Chain A
């Protein structure tokens, strides 16, 4: 049974709620401060991704978040019902942000100006790339039903 389960209607302002709950649960579980901060950033990123996907593809379906404390540590799962998407390989900004950063060396940038909506939404794969860089223990599972992002942090051994 999860320690905490959240169902968020996919509204942008709820992402902050998820971060606050995640921080509270992580502190309660005894996660060290620097990892609490890592969890805050990673959970926020994962929820932003899920909420953006739901807003576009499943606006009436809540995003599900599980925080579980067990012998393996503290596990956070963010479960969405958006289309599949695996992170692009590498960290080439052009791959991540498309034409918006073309010609970042100042020449050829005009090519990127064709897309006037380049910042109206970020490729959800960018989120997965960010998450992969933020958290050491991450597992992303995509099925036809959606994607589960599982993040895990070890907990310090407690003396009884």
Chain B
């Protein structure tokens, strides 16, 4: 399965629904999407990863880059993920300390720092 990307607005948050495989081939598409959203003034992003079937370190790098970009505008990037395989990768790399990770989009949209 290729990478699928859809975005929608919920209040002041922009929800990006990612599906499929994020690897060294598809990660640039996700990077472009995040850059486009930030360039258009969307600084509070929620990335829904529940339909992600594969994620490698290239994808992690893109998410970190996205976080860097929104924080440059005092924004936020929250993740929605309950898949143990993906959570394990975030734990291995210490990124659970960097990204707020939520169990549902509703929870992420409602969250405040």
A residues sitting closer than 8 Å to B (CB atoms) are 12-13, 15-16, 19, 37, 40-41, 44-45, 48-49, 51-52, 90-93, 96-97, 100-101, 104, 106, 109, 112-113, 118-122, 126-127, 129-130, 132-134
Contacts and interface: CB of A to CB of B under 8 A. Distances in A.
Interface in B15-31: 21, 23-25, 31
Given A91-B93, A122-B60, A44 B72 contact: no
A13 B3 CA distance: 12
Given A12-B24, A119-B68, A122-B61, A93 B56 contact: no
Please classify how large the interface on chain B is, using the bins under 10, 10 to 19, 20 to 34, 35 or more: 20 to 34
A92 B85 contact: no
The prevalent SS among residues of B at the interface is helix
B100 to A, nearest CB: 11
A74 B22 CA distance: 26
Contacts of B61: 97, 100, 118-119, 121-122, 126
Given A106-B71, A118-B61, A130-B60, 13 more contacts: A12-B25, A16-B23, A48-B57, A91-B91, A91-B92, A97-B95, A101-B64, A104-B98, A118-B68, A120-B65, A126-B93, A127-B57, A134-B88
